[in-house]
């Protein structure tokens, strides 16, 4: 069914795109559906799903190459990272990711991909251009969150069971520091200039803001939602606006996204979204924020200026990752 | 030099050597790349995929002996390496690689243990006599509990190496309690203060009585006995295995939520069956279920041949919504299902069963824990394994955050309000300060699927709904272990 849709729609879309050449094209959000082995494509003008594409097994983390010509997909149960051509939507290659790749982050050089191998307590560094393994770095149990600093000199990996942030020197590929945080760190997000990063602890229920130069935790954020037991407030995804104004924190089974003042660290609001919200992404102008809601199988759309949830879009089963192509 | 700096030195040393346990994972990857061992085959028994076995318990570990006293200091390398060399590799190559890796390890292992803090954990198991049972087709694994402790040790060391902490597990299993007591004394003289006890309540109390509370910290990973949590608390005894009361409360909440509130209760003749039945009676009262009929199982026929004829007659009586069974060892309970006079669900020790852990739990990241256990032990992880894993991991977390590993400071850490353990159950776990019980959600399972997890929605508690399971502060005569630890 899905295949038919893809195949029949692809030429149509292609011709539609060609017909529209010259006019502004809508940007598209790609959403990985963990339990459907597929991607849902959402047109960000109409906010509708325009296509569903079959990919490898258990797709989780997804990210674009810097020029948006390729999409890298962690196909966790296939033990590979797939490369998709974003014009044809064909899988054009695979990267030797190590076992069970879950999340990854692309270095600003557009070549080095830092991949968490959840089952093997490893971070694998792959050259995405010639598909070779550059390094494998031992980290704690169940590595998950992965981020490379915009400065390019530092990568941070979180190990869930060891409850640590591992600081990786991207020159030597050695660990230069470890920071213990609260239980089950899931995600890391750098700010625009790479001077700080935010790390969520799912079971601890907190987000640590860490200063890169001093390597110190400068703030530990806690969340409190009326009517939700504190144990169910489980932060996962974090997104920061480029203007340094807001941080958004997805609170998992609490079904809310926290809006935080990124300067004063004050929690400004909690926005109700779909069930079990994990990851998020802005559109290219940072006017919209999309959230993946695993249990309800949808994507919530947040208006960043108004701080309101404006729409929810049904996608596949267990949406996990989201990436936006302008 | 601060702790972290020291940790780096340890890390860089272990980079050189193959000593650190987590290095094995890299090795395994390397083997896999070079030898083309299919994924998933490496850590398993030769018998193949446990999950596809009809034997739900998987395979008992190959090298565990059921008799006599077994002692060994377990270092995960050996087992792990042997396992990773199984699979489709030619035997000769496997053999050569195995010895090569052993040689490498022998040469470099001294570096692996150059950690600043060496934490030794003792595991003591009283091997149970197993009476003849009717449901004996699928035997229980003989290393229940032990394998969980081993996995907890691996997890601790994977993180500990970044902090200059190295954990070691000492194991003694025996059929003689006196041997275990002697062993515990010897260990204590050598400075081993953290002990996991896999034994019944009586044995546990006898062993605990040999020490003053500040000398050792004990983790009960083997006894669900309610009395240990209600009245017979010891200041230095923590429980990672749920009490019977927690199990039966978890079940009763679900029954209440499903409005299955008229119960026929059938109990076996053994003391543990009575204990489970008493716990069911308590839970029924607590959550508003009614026991309309109680029966004692006393048949001595072989039900495997006659269940269809005998059980319907036996289960005649007042109209009931469900049959609750108390048969802990599995003598007759399995034969009640589908044979009751009224077509009703069976729950308790058989049928829908409340457990601390089961292979079917996969949410909340549990799939990863299951995979790691499967790789290590080659069988399914059960409640005793989970309890031993949780005890070992609790120690790991306490030591990681305080940097100290003596019995008293670990006890203070674990009982403090700050303590939290990520236990793959969807929320943080902590210890009850009045009786040392690890708070935890309880899974309700049937053999091939998770049915529900208690506490059920709507059962409220002023502090945490987890305390709707088992003995809450008011119901326990035990008082403030934390204050005792801080005396």
pLDDT in tens, A223-256: 999 989 898 999 999 999 999 999 999 999 999 9
**What is the structure's pLDDT at B133?**
73
Whether B147 is covered by a domain: the verdict is: yes
Whether B75 is covered by a domain: the verdict is: yes
Whether B277 is covered by a domain: the verdict is: yes
**What is the structure's pLDDT at B299?**
72
If asked whether residues B35 and B147 sit together in one domain, one would say yes
**What is the structure's pLDDT at B10?**
37
If asked whether residues B169 and B225 sit together in one domain, one would say yes
User: Distance between CA atoms of B480 and A196, rounded to whole angstroms?
Assistant: 42
**What is the structure's pLDDT at B331?**
87
If asked whether residues B178 and B319 sit together in one domain, one would say no
If asked whether residues B262 and B332 sit together in one domain, one would say yes
**What is the structure's pLDDT at B50?**
39
Q: Which chain A residues are within 8 Å of B419, Cβ to Cβ?
A: none
User: Distance between CA atoms of B444 and B243, rounded to whole angstroms?
Assistant: 15
Structure tokens that stand for A42 in this block: 């959402």
CATH code of B167's domain: 3.40.50.2300
- Looking at the predicted structure, is the pLDDT value of residue B194 above 70? yes
User: Distance between CA atoms of B197 and A309, rounded to whole angstroms?
Assistant: 52
At residue B454, φ and ψ (nearest 5 deg) are -100, 155
If asked whether residues B233 and B302 sit together in one domain, one would say no
Closest Cβ–Cβ partner in B29, B397, B427 for A122: B29
- Best of A79, A162, A168, A201 to disrupt the B interface (most B CBs within 10 Å) is A162
Q: Express as a percent the part of chain A with pLDDT over 70.
A: 92
Domain containing B347 equals 245-351
CA atoms within 13 A on the CB side of B465: 18
Residues 6+ apart with CB under 8 A from B476: B229, B230, B231, B233, B434, B435
Structure-model confidence comparison of residues B65 and B487, the more confident one: B487
If asked whether residues B143 and B234 sit together in one domain, one would say yes
Are B149 and B392 a contacting pair, CB within 8 Å? Answer: yes
Whether B443 is covered by a domain: the verdict is: no
The helix/strand/coil state of B220 is strand
The helix/strand/coil state of A104 is strand
Is the CB of residue A86 less than 8 Å away from at least one CB of chain B?
no
DSSP state of A52: E
Whether B450 is covered by a domain: the verdict is: no
**What is the structure's pLDDT at B4?**
43
Whether B91 is covered by a domain: the verdict is: yes
- Pick from B22-36, B80-94, B183-197 the range whose average pLDDT is largest: B183-197
In our burial notation (b when 16+ CB lie closer than 10 A, e otherwise), range A260-292 reads bebeeeebeebbebbebbbbbbbbeebebbbbb
pLDDT tens readout for residues A266-311: 999 999 999 999 999 999 999 999 999 999 999 999 999 999 999 9
Last residue of a domain, one of B351, B368, B391: B351
Structure tokens that stand for B193 in this block: 């203060």
User: Distance between CA atoms of A313 and A47, rounded to whole angstroms?
Assistant: 7
Indicate the pairing of strand A48-54 with strand A59-64.
unpaired
If asked whether residues B165 and B149 sit together in one domain, one would say yes
User: Distance between CA atoms of B481 and B23, rounded to whole angstroms?
Assistant: 39
Closest Cβ–Cβ partner in A122, A166, A202 for B26: A122
Q: State whether the Cα torsion A268-A272-A275-A277 is positive or negative.
A: negative
Q: Is B350 exposed, middle or buried (0-12, 13-18, 19+ CB in 10 A)?
A: buried
Last residue of a domain, one of B315, B334, B351: B351
When divided into structural domains, chain B yields a total of 2
If asked whether residues B257 and B384 sit together in one domain, one would say no
If asked whether residues B47 and B167 sit together in one domain, one would say yes
Instruction: For chain A, give the mean pLDDT.
Output: 92
pLDDT tens readout for residues A20-72: 443 456 899 999 999 999 999 999 999 999 999 999 999 999 999 999 999 99
If asked whether residues B218 and B153 sit together in one domain, one would say yes
- Looking at the predicted structure, is the pLDDT value of residue B9 above 50? no
Q: How far is B44 from chain A (nearest CA, A)?
A: 15
**What is the structure's pLDDT at B75?**
38
**What is the structure's pLDDT at A125?**
96
Last residue of a domain, one of B351, B369, B389: B351
Are B268 and B326 a contacting pair, CB within 8 Å? Answer: yes
- The region that residue B138 occupies, defined by phi over 0 for left and psi between -120 and 50 for alpha, beta otherwise, is beta
Whether B449 is covered by a domain: the verdict is: no
User: Distance between CA atoms of B121 and B165, rounded to whole angstroms?
Assistant: 13
Q: Which chain B residues are within 8 Å of A204, Cβ to Cβ?
A: 420, 428
Q: Which chain B residues are within 8 Å of A253, Cβ to Cβ?
A: 426
Instruction: For chain B, give the mean pLDDT.
Output: 81
Residues in chain B: 487
- Looking at the predicted structure, is the pLDDT value of residue B46 above 90? no
If asked whether residues B81 and B170 sit together in one domain, one would say yes
- Cβ under 8 Å to B: A residues 147-176: 159-164, 166, 174-176
Whether B188 is covered by a domain: the verdict is: yes
DSSP state of A99: S
Is the CB of residue A231 less than 8 Å away from at least one CB of chain B?
yes
If asked whether residues B412 and B327 sit together in one domain, one would say no
Are B187 and B80 a contacting pair, CB within 8 Å? Answer: no
Q: Test B22 with A138 for CB contact under 8 angstroms.
A: yes
Structure tokens that stand for B288 in this block: 């508003």
The helix/strand/coil state of B101 is helix
Q: How far is A87 from chain B (nearest CA, A)?
A: 33
- Looking at the predicted structure, is the pLDDT value of residue B20 above 70? no
Are B430 and B421 a contacting pair, CB within 8 Å? Answer: yes
């Amino acid at each position: 069914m899905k295949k038919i849709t893809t195949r029949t729609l692809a030429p149509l879309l292609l011709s539609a795109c060609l017909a529209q050449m010259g006019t502004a094209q809508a940007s598209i959000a790609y959403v990985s559906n963990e339990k459907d082995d597929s991607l849902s494509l959402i047109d960000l003008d109409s906010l509708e799903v325009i296509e569903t594409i079959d990919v490898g097994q258990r797709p989780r983390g997804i990210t674009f190459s810097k020029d948006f010509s390729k999409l890298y997909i962690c196909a966790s149960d296939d033990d590979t990272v797939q490369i998709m051509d974003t014009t044809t939507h064909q899988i054009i290659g695979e990267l030797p990711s190590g076992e069970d790749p879950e999340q990854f982050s692309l270095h600003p050089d557009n070549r080095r991909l830092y991949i968490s191998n959840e089952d093997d307590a490893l971070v694998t560094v792959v050259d995405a251009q010639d598909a070779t393994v550059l390094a494998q770095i031992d980290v704690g149990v169940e590595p998950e969150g992965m981020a490379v600093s915009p400065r390019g000199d530092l990568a941070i990996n979180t190990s869930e069971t060891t409850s640590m942030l591992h600081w990786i020197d991207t020159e030597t590929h050695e660990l230069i520091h470890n920071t213990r945080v609260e239980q089950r760190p899931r995600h890391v997000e750098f700010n625009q200039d790479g001077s700080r990063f935010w790390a969520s602890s799912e079971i601890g229920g907190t987000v640590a803001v860490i200063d890169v130069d001093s390597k110190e935790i400068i703030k530990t954020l806690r969340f409190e939602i009326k009517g939700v037991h504190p144990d169910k407030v489980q932060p996962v995804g974090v997104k920061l606006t480029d203007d340094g104004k807001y941080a958004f924190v997805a609170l998992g089974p609490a079904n809310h996204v926290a809006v935080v003042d990124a300067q004063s660290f004050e929690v400004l609001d909690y926005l109700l979204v779909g069930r079990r919200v994990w990851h998020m992404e802005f559109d290219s102008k940072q006017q919209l924020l999309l959230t993946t809601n695993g249990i309800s199988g949808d994507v919530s759309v947040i208006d960043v200026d108004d701080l309101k949830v404006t729409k929810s879009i049904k996608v596949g089963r267990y949406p996990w990752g989201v990436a936006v192509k302008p | 030099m601060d702790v972290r700096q020291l940790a780096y030195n340890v890390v860089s040393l272990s980079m050189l050597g193959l000593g650190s346990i987590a290095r094995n994972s890299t090795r395994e990857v390397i083997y896999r790349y070079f030898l083309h061992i299919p994924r998933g085959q490496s850590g398993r028994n030769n018998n193949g995929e446990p999950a596809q076995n009809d034997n739900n318990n998987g395979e008992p570990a190959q090298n565990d002996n059921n008799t006599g006293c077994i002692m060994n200091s377990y270092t995960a390398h050996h087992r792990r390496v042997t396992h990773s060399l199984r699979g489709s590799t030619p035997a000769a190559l496997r053999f050569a690689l195995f010895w090569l890796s052993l040689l490498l390890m022998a040469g470099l292992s001294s570096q692996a243990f150059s950690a600043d803090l060496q934490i030794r954990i003792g595991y003591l198991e009283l091997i149970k006599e197993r009476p003849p049972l009717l449901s004996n087709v699928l035997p229980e694994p003989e290393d229940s509990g032990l394998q969980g402790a081993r996995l907890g040790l691996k997890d601790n060391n994977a993180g500990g190496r970044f902090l200059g902490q190295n954990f070691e597990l000492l194991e003694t299993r025996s059929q003689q309690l006196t041997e275990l007591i002697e062993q515990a004394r010897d260990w204590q003289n050598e400075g081993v203060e953290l002990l996991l006890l896999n034994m019944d309540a009586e044995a546990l109390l006898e062993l605990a009585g040999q020490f003053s509370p500040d000398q050792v910290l004990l983790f009960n990973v083997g006894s669900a006995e309610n009395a240990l949590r209600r009245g017979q608390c010891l200041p230095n005894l923590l429980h990672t295995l749920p009490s019977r009361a927690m199990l039966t409360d978890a079940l009763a909440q679900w029954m209440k939520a499903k409005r299955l509130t008229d119960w026929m209760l059938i109990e076996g003749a053994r003391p543990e069956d009575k204990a489970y039945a008493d716990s069911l009676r308590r839970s029924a009262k607590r959550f508003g279920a009614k026991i309309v009929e109680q029966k004692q199982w006393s048949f001595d026929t072989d039900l495997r041949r006659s269940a269809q004829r005998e059980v319907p007659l036996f289960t005649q009586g007042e109209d009931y919504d469900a049959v609750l069974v108390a048969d802990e060892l599995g003598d007759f309970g399995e034969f009640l299902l589908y044979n009751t006079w009224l077509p009703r669900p069976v729950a308790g020790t058989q049928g829908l069963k409340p457990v601390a852990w089961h292979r079917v739990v996969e949410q909340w990241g549990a799939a990863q824990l299951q995979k790691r256990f499967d790789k290590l032990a080659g069988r399914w992880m059960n409640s005793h394994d989970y309890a031993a894993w949780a005890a070992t991991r609790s120690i790991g977390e306490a030591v990681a955050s305080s940097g100290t590993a003596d019995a008293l400071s670990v006890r203070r850490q674990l009982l403090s309000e700050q303590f939290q353990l990520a236990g793959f159950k969807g929320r943080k776990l902590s210890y009850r300060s009045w009786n040392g019980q690890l708070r935890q959600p309880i899974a309700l399972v049937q053999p091939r699927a998770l049915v529900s997890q208690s506490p059920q929605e709507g059962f409220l508690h002023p502090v945490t709904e987890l305390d709707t399971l088992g003995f809450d502060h008011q119901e326990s005569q035990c008082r403030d272990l934390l204050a005792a630890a801080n005396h």
